[in-house]
A and B are shown apart, each in its own frame.
Chain A
Amino acid sequence: MRKLPLEGIRILDLCVVWAGPFGAMQLADLGAEVIRVEAMQYTFVNQRGVPYPSRAPQSIAAIGHYYPDYEFGERPWNRFAVANYYGRNKLGMTVDLSRAEGVEVFKRLVKMSDGVVENQAARNMEAFGLDYDVLSQLNPGLIMVRFPGFGTSGPYKHRLGYGFTMDAITAHTSLRRYPDLPPDETTTVYHGDACAGAAMAGAFIQALLYRARTGKGQLIDMSQCENVIHTFAPAYMDFFMNGRVQEPMGNRDSSMVQGCYPCDGEDKWCVISIAGDEQWEALCDIMGRPDLAGDPRFVDVLSRRKNQDELDGYVIEWTLFQDQYEVMRKLQAAGIAAGPVIENPDVHRDPHVQAREHMVAVEHAECGIHRHTGPLYKLSETPCRMGAAPLLGQHNMYIYRELLGYSDDEIERLVKENHIGDRFLPEAR
Chain B
Amino acid sequence: MPDQALSHVRVLDVSHHIAGPYLSKLLADYGADVVKIENPAGGDLARRLGPFPGDLPHSEKSGTFLHLNTNKRGITLDLKTKTGQQIFRELVKDVDIVVENFAPGVMSSWGLGFDDLSEINPRLVMTSISNFGQTGPYRDYKATDIVIFAMGGPMASTGTDDREPLKLYGWTTLAQVALDAHVATLAALFHATLHREGQHIDVSLMDAMLSSIDRRGNYLLAYEYNGKTSTWRTAAAGGRCIFSRLGMPCKDGYILFTMQQRYWERFCAWIGHPELLEDPRLQTAEDRITPEANAFVDAIGGQFLLEHTMAELMDSMQSGGIPGGAVYTVADVVGDPHFQAREYFVELEHPVAGKLTYPGPLWRPTETPWQIRRVAPMLGQHNEEIYCGRLGYEKADMVRLRQLGVI
Category for how many chain B residues contact A: 35 or more
- State whether B214 touches A190 (Cβ < 8 A): yes
**Which residue of chain B has its CB nearest to the CB of A172?**
B169
- State whether B190 touches A188 (Cβ < 8 A): no
- State whether B143 touches A238 (Cβ < 8 A): no
- B234: chain A residues within 8 A (beta carbon): 187
Q: Give the CA-CA distance A184 to B249 in the complex, in Å.
A: 8
- State whether B358 touches A237 (Cβ < 8 A): yes
- State whether A198 touches B223 (Cβ < 8 A): no
Chain A 173-214 interface mask (CB, 8 Å, partner B; 1/0): 111111001111111111101110111111101111110111
- State whether A194 touches B212 (Cβ < 8 A): yes
Q: Give the CA-CA distance A365 to B227 in the complex, in Å.
A: 20
- A290: chain B residues within 8 A (beta carbon): none
Within 8 A of B (CB), among A160-181: 160-178, 181
**With known contacts A155-B337, A188-B256, A206-B5, A241–B53 Cβ distance under 8 A:** yes
**With known contacts A5-B191, A181-B160, A262-B164, A159–B318 Cβ distance under 8 A:** yes
- A240: chain B residues within 8 A (beta carbon): 63, 334, 345, 356-358
**With known contacts A70-B226, A234-B49, A352-B136, A374–B207 Cβ distance under 8 A:** yes
- State whether A221 touches B135 (Cβ < 8 A): no
- A190: chain B residues within 8 A (beta carbon): 213-215
Does A298 sit at the interface, judged by CB under 8 A?
A: no
5 contacts between A and B (CB under 8 A): A162-B323, A165-B324, A188-B235, A242-B55, A380-B202
Does B380 sit at the interface, judged by CB under 8 A?
A: no
Q: Give the CA-CA distance A66 to B366 in the complex, in Å.
A: 40
Within 8 A of A (CB), among B220-261: 220-226, 228-231, 233-235, 238-240, 245-249, 254-258, 260
- State whether B8 touches A213 (Cβ < 8 A): yes
- B151: chain A residues within 8 A (beta carbon): 339-342
- State whether B341 touches A254 (Cβ < 8 A): no
Q: Give the CA-CA distance A377 to B55 in the complex, in Å.
A: 38
- B200: chain A residues within 8 A (beta carbon): 379-380
Chain A 362-399 interface mask (CB, 8 Å, partner B; 1/0): 00000100111111111111100000000000000000
Q: A82-B222, A86-B218, A232-B172 are in contact. List 14 more A-B contacts (CB 8 A).
A: A66-B225, A147-B363, A171-B332, A188-B246, A229-B333, A241-B51, A271-B155, A335-B142, A337-B142, A356-B204, A367-B225, A370-B224, A373-B210, A379-B201
In the assembled complex, the CB of A330 is this many whole angstroms from the nearest CB of chain B, namely 12
**With known contacts A218-B367, A356-B204, A238–B50 Cβ distance under 8 A:** yes
Does B112 sit at the interface, judged by CB under 8 A?
A: no
Q: Give the CA-CA distance A191 to B349 in the complex, in Å.
A: 31
- B143: chain A residues within 8 A (beta carbon): 337, 339
- State whether B147 touches A220 (Cβ < 8 A): no
- State whether A201 touches B368 (Cβ < 8 A): no
- B329: chain A residues within 8 A (beta carbon): 171, 174, 245
